[in-house]
Amino acid sequence: MVNIRLDQVQLVLFSPIIAIVDKLKTANALKEVLSGILDGDPVILPLPEEAPLEIPRIQLKSKDDHYNLSIAKNRFDFIFRYKEEDEKALFPVPGFLEKFLLMYQYFKENIYTQFSRSAMVTDWIIELEKSPGAEHLLSKYIRQEVPIREPFELELHCLTKESIAGINVNKWIRIKSARKISEPKQNKFIAFHIDINTLAEEAYEFDEELLQRFLRECGKAVHETIEMHLKRTEE
């Protein structure tokens, strides 16, 4: 038997350009759009125009560190993090997609931003009952004839090409052994990372309906992936 816990969810929208003239005004407007949940101090970086597009210009977060919003010139990322003390770690995170769609609407209606790509990234922690995470991964995922014995750490990567809601995607999976930072000898953990993103070479015109359908289908794909690997883990 294993225990599995959702650690973080990240939703992303990519754009050829997010043209923000007044960063402080935009930051305050987004805080209002999200009904005050981004109540931490905003970080607004005065970057030169030639700075790389992917560097965040605006960063907003909640005081409790659950929510984080990062806005660059070519993307915005909305992140929800669970904490160990949270009683329940649900997926989908209640209301998270709806908040993301509110921000999408703000960018479309007020900054006239076009979005051509999207992504969903989730991180999970699996706690094993007996064996160390590295040895468990070795026994479940790697052939016995591979000359590896008693690994201290082990990490696996996998890329599949799929179609979700009629959109071609890369689905990256990273599975690695993990330890408690505060107690390194506690090694019966596996970190499970799933990154579903639309192809960089294919652009789409994401309206609200397509975006919502795509992200909901991504959520289903995440559930299916987790269930498939949990079945392997528990065999």
Tell me the H-state helices in the chain: 23-33, 96-110, 133-141, 208-234
Query: What's the pLDDT tens digit per position in 71-112?
Result: 999 999 999 999 988 888 899 999 999 999 999 999 999 999
67-76, 114-123, 135-144, 187-196: the lowest-pLDDT one: 135-144
Distances (CA, A) of 132 to 70, 156, 177: 36, 15, 8
Residue 214 makes CB contacts below 8 A (sequence gap 6+) with 118, 164, 165, 167, 206
Label residue 1 by pLDDT band (50, 70, 90). low
* Tens of pLDDT, residues 184-207: 788 999 999 999 999 999 999 999
Q: Which residue has the higher pLDDT, 120 or 47?
A: 120
| Beta strand ranges found along 129-199 (DSSP E) | 155-164, 167-178, 189-198
The ranges assigned to domains in the chain are 2-234
